Amino acid sequence: MKTVIGVWFSKGAASAVAAKKTIEIYGKYHDVIIINNPVDEEDADNMRFQKDISNWIGKEIIEAKNSKLGHTSAVQVWADRSYMSGNKGAPCTMLLKKEARYEFEATHKIDWHVLGFCANEKGRHDRFITQERENVIPVLINLSITKNDCYKIIEDAGIELPLSYRLGYDNANCIGCVKSSGVWYWNKTRQTHPEIFRQRAIQSREIGCKLVRLNGKRIFLDELPEDAIGRPSHRSVECSSFCDTKRSFPSPPPTK
């Protein structure tokens, strides 16, 4: 049986390039599958990007869903659990991504995983394989491809980046991601997606979740001053389907 390499595509630039490079390097001798965890609250343009990337890499992108839920809505998860985000993490990540991955892996053999870790994120990759799992191939790191390189590779391929990037965000995650507590992020959301900001403010009040931190204190979104600036470095919100105990695996598969 061929080694199976699963590339987890987040609908972002880095994971898209990681998918392309993984297929180029390993696709001739190993089975490469591309998987995505769909979430309704992502920008609608993400689906256009996914279709463009699927055409570019010449492979179908498989959707991994949590069949127990019957939906892929983070808003519905928060309502059902009466919990949005906090010390226990975010239930949307656990139910829509992690448990969806567990279910997918239960029926699909995956020997190695590829994520969109770029060359300038080697520290993040090293922490990941130490704390979570070792069977990760750092494709972009090995090729010294940075996040900016990913943008250029996508654009040179004639593919328009997701709208979220063009609006100034660092990734293409859900709009109004409750995992962020950054002032910059939430006022940016209020500027680019005022209706979604309003919805998050209402739901967080109903649930009692203070999503933003201002001057070291947690406050409700509707208490956030519109002129508060925060730090642009807080604009990146990571949302991964991986959270496992460390396990041991053999050496990475050969390229031929």
Question: What CATH number should be reported for the domain holding residue 72?
Answer: 3.40.50.620
Each residue's pLDDT tens digit in the chain (256 positions)? Answer: 789 999 999 999 999 999 999 999 999 999 999 999 999 999 999 999 999 999 999 999 999 999 999 999 999 999 999 999 988 789 999 999 999 999 999 999 999 999 999 999 999 899 988 887 789 999 999 999 999 999 999 999 999 999 999 999 988 999 999 999 999 999 999 999 999 999 999 999 999 999 999 999 999 999 999 999 887 654 556 665 554 433 444 445 666 5
What range does the domain containing 161 cover?
A: 4-165
Q: Residue 121 domain-assigned?
A: yes
Q: Residue 138 domain-assigned?
A: yes
* DSSP output for 113-177: EE----GGGHHHHHHHHHHT-S-B--HHHHTT--HHHHHHHHHHTT-PPPHHHHTT-SS--BTT-
Q: Residue 216 domain-assigned?
A: no
Q: Residue 184 domain-assigned?
A: no
Q: Residue 193 domain-assigned?
A: no
- Number of structural domains, the chain? 1
Q: Residue 150 domain-assigned?
A: yes
Model confidence, pTM: 0.89
Q: Residue 25 domain-assigned?
A: yes
Q: Residue 49 domain-assigned?
A: yes
